[in-house]
Amino acid sequence: MSSWRGWIWAGLALSLYVFGGLLIMAGLVMIGILGAQDLWGLGEARGMGYLAFFVGIVLSVMGVLIMRIMRNRGVA
């Protein structure tokens, strides 16, 4: 039973890390390339890019922290 819990935490950590990285890249594209264009009526691309960039950083850091906690506690 404990090994399944480790696999679930590992999948969650890896998913957060990868999704965060994708958001960081998408944010950089929106900031650098799209600039002042309107994104489907949701707002300026630069503002949405900053939001995606910083949320991506937070998700990536959370994924890394979960991985480090799992390793230090011997879960994975």
State residue 53's pLDDT score. 95
Q: Is the pTM of this model over 0.75?
A: yes
**The predicted structure's pLDDT at residue 56:** 96
Evaluate whether 67 touches 15 at the Cβ level (below 8 Å): no
Q: What is the mean pLDDT of each run of 10 residues along the chain (76 residues)?
A: 76 92 93 81 84 94 89 74
Which pLDDT belongs to residue 2? 66
- For residue 54, the model assigns a pLDDT of 96
pLDDT given for residue 41 in this prediction = 79
